[in-house]
Structure 1
Amino acid sequence: MNPDNLAKLIDELSAMFHPTERDRPHGRWVEAPKSAPPSKRRRSKTAYQLKITLNGIRPPIWRRVLVPGHATFHELHLIIQEAMGWEQAHLYEFDFGSVLIGIPDGWDSFQLEKELMDARRIPLQQWLTEEKQKFLYIYDFGDYWRHTVTVEKIETLPKPLERAACLKGKRACPPEDCGGVYGYLELLEAAAQKDSLADPELRELVDWMYDMKGEDFDPDAFDVEEANERLAYIRL
C-alpha cells in the first residue's frame, strides 16, 4: 500500500469513529503513572507498519497496525492492548535485548542486568530504525504473554497520523488471567468437549471463560472494525 493510500485509509477511519470522553468504555482505559512528558514533541510523517504476534499459540493470533513515529512506547502499549483485545489490567515491558522499555516503578530492581528506559518518554522513531527489525512486547508478568513485534514497513506519509489503525488480524485474544499460553490451550481443549467433561474444575474454568468473553466467544474470530473503534480513543 503506497503512502497516499495509507493516509486516505486513516482519514476514512477517523471519519467513521468520532469518540468523546463520554463514549470512552468504562474500565478499559488505564492512564500512565504521572510523569513529566517531553516539552513539546514534533509530530512525525514517518509511519510504521507493525505486526504483533502472540507467541506460543497455533494457529497464530496476530494483528497488523499502522502507527506514527512520534508515538511513545507507552502509546504503543495502549495500541497493542486495544488492537489485540487485552484489558490493560497488568504491567508490561518492551524487550530489545540489553534494554527494557516500560514503566520503571516497581520492576526496575528485578532487571539490574539491563538498562531501563521510561516508555512514556521515548518515541518509536528513536528505536525503530529499519524494516524487519524485531523486538518483544511482554504483557502481564504472571501469565507472561510474549508478543513478537516486527517492523514490516517504514513509510513517509503526506501528513502525520493522528490515530493508529488496525489493518488486519487473525483470531481472538485470550481472556485475561487464564494462566498464560498453556492455561489458554487447556481452556480451549476443555471448551471443545464441554458437554462431555467429567471434571467439575474444568467445567468451572470453561464457564469462567465464557463469563469473561461472552457466551458467543469464538477463538477463531476477529473483527477489525471493532479493533479500530477501540483504537479511535487513542489520539497521538
Structure 2
Amino acid sequence: MAPQQLPPQTLSLRASLVGSEPEIWREIEIADGVSLAQLHQVLQIVFGWQQSHLHRFSEQDPWSSRRGIPRIGPEPREWLDQWSLIEQDGDGEDEAEAILADAFSRGGPLWYEYDFGDGWVHRIEMIGSRLAEIGEPLVRLVAGARRGPFEDSGGIGGYAEKLAIMADPRHPEHAEITEWARFVAGPWGSIDPDDADLDGARSELELLTGAPPADMSGLVDSARGVVDDSPIVEFASNLPVPYRTNLRRHLRATGVLDPVELDEAAAAALMRPYLWLLDHIGDGGLTLTQAGWMPPADVAAAVEALELRLVYGKGNREQSTREVAGLRESATQLRLIRKIKGRLELTARVRTIRHDPRAVSAQIAHALLPQRMDDAERIASVVLVLGLADGTFTTSDEARAAVVDIVNGFGYRDQDGRQLDRYWFRPLTRSVQDVLTVVGLWRWVPGGEAPPTDALRAFARMALR
C-alpha cells in the first residue's frame, strides 16, 4: 500500500532564549511545510535580531555538546545555510531544504544558535499541532515576553550586566552603557528590556509571509492623509526590518502622522517671508537687473518689510544679502516662482493660492521633502524633519548629532572611507534647511537659538505626510 500524504499541519512552537532571567520567549503558530531557512527569518523578526551574524539549527543543545555531555539516541542532525555548508565542506544539512515536519520528526526540541561569538541559544519546543485551516497565514506570533537582547552585548551574562548598569543611575558606566544601548537599538528603538513589541513583529511577519504588499511601510492610511507617495512612506519602505518596525511604532506612539493643519494666523506668521515675496512679485512679475539680480530697491524693501537681521552688507544688493538671496533661491527650488526672460514670475499653481496663507503653507510642506536629493541627503532630511515633528530636536546641536549618527548608521562614509563628522549636517540637509531657515528655524535671539515653534513643528508634520 502506498504511503498516504498527511494533511498540512499548523505547529505551535515555543522558542526561549536559554539562560535568560526573566525568560525571553515567543510562541508562534507556523505551517509544518515551512523550511528552517524561513524559520530563521521568523526568529530574527520576533526576537528583534538584525541579521548581523551566522546561525545554525541543531538537534543537540550547543552548550551541552561543548561541555562534552554525552547524548543518548540517534546522531543529532544539524542544519546550516548554504554559505556555511560550503565553509564546513558539507558537514550538515541545508536548512533551505529541511521543512519543520521533518525537523521535528524525532519530537524535538530544536536548538537555534545565533552569533557564535555571543552564543545566543534558543530552545524551540513543539507544544502542539493541529490541522491547518484554509487561508490561514503561514506564521502567526501568538505571545511572548521581553525584548530580545542588544546585538553584540556579550551573551546572556554580558546582557544582564549591561541591564544592571542601565538600571543604576549611580553606576560610573551608566551614561556610557545607556548611550551604547540606544545606538545599538537603532533609531527610534526602545531600550526597555520589558518591551517585546509584539505588534511590530506581527506587522513584519505579515510583510515576510504574505504577497508583497503595495505598502511596504505599513503606514499608508488614506483617512489620515498618509498616501503611497508620502515622504515618510517612501522613507520607511526602504528601511531594514528593525528600523522600520521601530519607526512605525514611534510614529504611532507620538501621533506624528495624525491629521494636522495650521490656522490662518499661524500660517500667515510662519509663511510671512514667502507670502511677502509672492505678493511683491504679484501677477505682473518682477523685472531683474541685467546681471539677473533683484533690483536694489526690491532688496531693500524685503529687508525692511521682513525686519531682517543682516549678517553683513547694506541690505540693498541681493548678491551680498544672503537672507534675501536665500528666500528667492528656496522659493525657486519649491517651484513657487520661476525666472523667465529676465523676470521673476509666479508659477501657475501659486497664482491661485498666493492670498491664502494656509494653502501656501500646505503647498510648501508638500514640496519640502520631494526636492531633488541623493539617497544620503534624503535620509538626513527626513530624519531632520521627523525630529522637528516629534519634538526630539530642540537645538541645532541635537539635530546635527542625531542626523549624522543615523546617516553613519546606514553605512554612508566620506570619500576616504571614514565616518561622517558633524560638519556634514549642513551639506546633507541644505535644501530642507534653506526652507526651514526662512520660516524661522533656530533663529537667533538674545541668549541663543530660539526653539522651534509649535507652528513650525506642525508644518514639519505636514511635510512628512
TM-score of the superposition, structure 2-length normalised? Answer: 0.38
How far apart are residue 231 of structure 1 and its match?
0.8
Equivalent position of 1:58 in the other structure: 21
Query: Which string of whole-angstrom CA distances, capped at 9 and with x for unpartnered residues, describes residues 163-201 of structure 1?
Result: 3110000011111111111110111010011x21224xx
Name the SS of the counterpart of 2:92 in structure 1: strand
More helix by share: 2
More strand by share: 1
Alignment equivalent of 1:124, drawn from 83, 100, 104 = 100
Note if contact 1:46-1:156 (Cα within 8 Å) is conserved in structure 2.
yes
CA distance in 2, matches of 1:226, 1:50: 19
How far apart are residue 230 of structure 1 and its match?
1.2
Equivalent position of 1:85 in the other structure: 48
Equivalent position of 1:230 in the other structure: 204
Alignment equivalent of 1:197, drawn from 168, 171, 189 = 171
Note if contact 1:164-1:234 (Cα within 8 Å) is conserved in structure 2.
no
Q: Structure 1 residue 220 and structure 2 residue 194: aligned? A: yes
How far apart are residue 215 of structure 1 and its match?
7.1
Change (3 A) 1:215 1:222: closer
CA RMSD of aligned residues (A): 2.5
AA at the equivalent of 1:100: E
Q: Structure 1 residue 105 and structure 2 residue 83: aligned? A: yes
AA at the equivalent of 2:95: A
State the identity %. Answer: 24
Alignment equivalent of 2:37, drawn from 74, 88, 96 = 74
Name the SS of the counterpart of 2:51 in structure 1: coil
How far apart are residue 217 of structure 1 and its match?
2.1
TM-score of the superposition, structure 1-length normalised? Answer: 0.72
How far apart are residue 207 of structure 1 and its match?
1.2
AA at the equivalent of 2:151: E
Q: Which consecutive residues of structure 2, in runs of 5 or more, have no partner in the other structure?
A: 61-75, 211-465
Alignment equivalent of 2:114, drawn from 111, 122, 139 = 139
Note if contact 2:79-2:93 (Cα within 8 Å) is conserved in structure 1.
yes
Equivalent position of 2:182 in the other structure: 210
Change (3 A) 1:143 1:107: farther
AA at the equivalent of 2:201: A
Name the SS of the counterpart of 1:219 in structure 2: coil
Equivalent position of 1:26 in the other structure: none
Q: Please, which moves more after superposition, 57-66 or 153-162?
A: 153-162
Query: Which string of whole-angstrom CA distances, capped at 9 and with x for unpartnered residues, describes residues 88-146 of structure 1?
Result: 1111111113211111424666699xx50000111111121376x31211001111100
Greater relative contact order (CA < 8 Å, ≥ 6 in sequence)? 1
Note if contact 2:85-2:94 (Cα within 8 Å) is conserved in structure 1.
no
AA at the equivalent of 1:178: S
Note if contact 2:85-2:93 (Cα within 8 Å) is conserved in structure 1.
no
CA distance in 2, matches of 1:111, 1:150: 29
CA distance in 2, matches of 1:186, 1:89: 22
Change (3 A) 1:192 1:142: same
AA at the equivalent of 1:60: E
CA distance in 1, matches of 2:147, 2:207: 20
Change (3 A) 1:62 1:111: farther
Change (3 A) 1:154 1:52: same
In the alignment of these two chains, the number of paired residues is 189
Q: Structure 1 residue 47 and structure 2 residue 10: aligned? A: yes
Note if contact 1:170-1:220 (Cα within 8 Å) is conserved in structure 2.
yes
Q: Which consecutive residues of structure 1, in runs of 5 or more, have no partner in the other structure?
A: 1-41
How far apart are residue 147 of structure 1 and its match?
0.5
CA distance in 2, matches of 1:147, 1:90: 15
CA distance in 2, matches of 1:107, 1:219: 35
Name the SS of the counterpart of 1:233 in structure 2: helix
Q: Please, which moves more after superposition, 151-160 or 60-69?
A: 151-160
CA distance in 2, matches of 1:107, 1:120: 11
CA distance in 2, matches of 1:116, 1:197: 46
Note if contact 1:130-1:154 (Cα within 8 Å) is conserved in structure 2.
no
Return the index of the structure with the highest Cα Rg. 2
